[in-house]
Structure 1
């Protein structure tokens, strides 16, 4: 399956995700994305730094204090774990999950339970990890 198919079918196609992207684990390239769901290099660098800390460290502290910017929008960090980041902006939210080679970034709309969006993103991350990605 192509990376775009994972975005379109597994994430957005689930009905729990509004927009999604898959980027390299280094944050230096976007492999697939929903049209218009783009990030600047500094935003991706921040995500990579947060995920390097395994839920700890200065990048994580800064994310909790200042929020996380994605697509030019500020999100409040609600939970950061070893491979995952969860953020809110009003009634919408962002789920981020890292695999060996990729970072999944997904936005859910206001009418979606955050737990359903999280489960969708984490399930795809688990599948990719088991597949060697």
Structure 2
């Protein structure tokens, strides 16, 4: 396992309230790393990126189709997307270059999944901004 895959497994799946997790690159809409057995298709990656980028009323009204399931959008803003279906759901946190994605099932607490995904997203975002400073870039 790679260092980033270990981080994904430890910080998300390690909570026991994230069923599956992935990090998607925004630039090329590809999956950078995913938990074992979690297959995020190119279409799924595109749908998540489009949904969080638009934060549109359409996503809130029509919902989200992800991993061959329909979800109802319960939150969509500049940095987060939460969607649920019955007792399961998907949580997405956006950084400058990535989407951190976590799913939960009926035996897990959605709030713990949200907290874990958002925390990893903030950690990655902080790391991205720190690299900009370290290499002489600017921070927005």
What range is the shorter-chain TM-score in?
0.7 to 0.9
Separation of aligned partners in 2, 1:109 and 1:26: 29
Equivalent in the alignment of 1:2:
3
- Written as runs of structure 1 = structure 2, the 5 A alignment for 1:56-67 is 60-67=56-63
Unmatched runs of 5 consecutive residues or more in structure 1: none
Q: Which of 79, 86, 90 matches 2:82?
A: 86
Separation of aligned partners in 1, 2:97 and 2:3: 15
TM-score by length of 1: 0.86
Equivalent in the alignment of 1:131:
127
Q: Which of 89, 108, 111 matches 1:112?
A: 108
Unmatched runs of 5 consecutive residues or more in structure 2: 130-140
**Cα drift, residue 27 of structure 1:** 5.4
Equivalent in the alignment of 2:22:
21
- Kept after mapping to 1: 8 A contact 2:30/2:45: no
Residue-by-residue CA offset, 1:2-59 (whole Å, 9 max, x unaligned): 2211221111012120111111023521111122322222222221122223x3xxxx
Separation of aligned partners in 1, 2:97 and 2:78: 15
TM-score by length of 2: 0.82
The RMSD of aligned alpha carbons is: 1.7
Larger radius of gyration, structure 1 or 2?
2
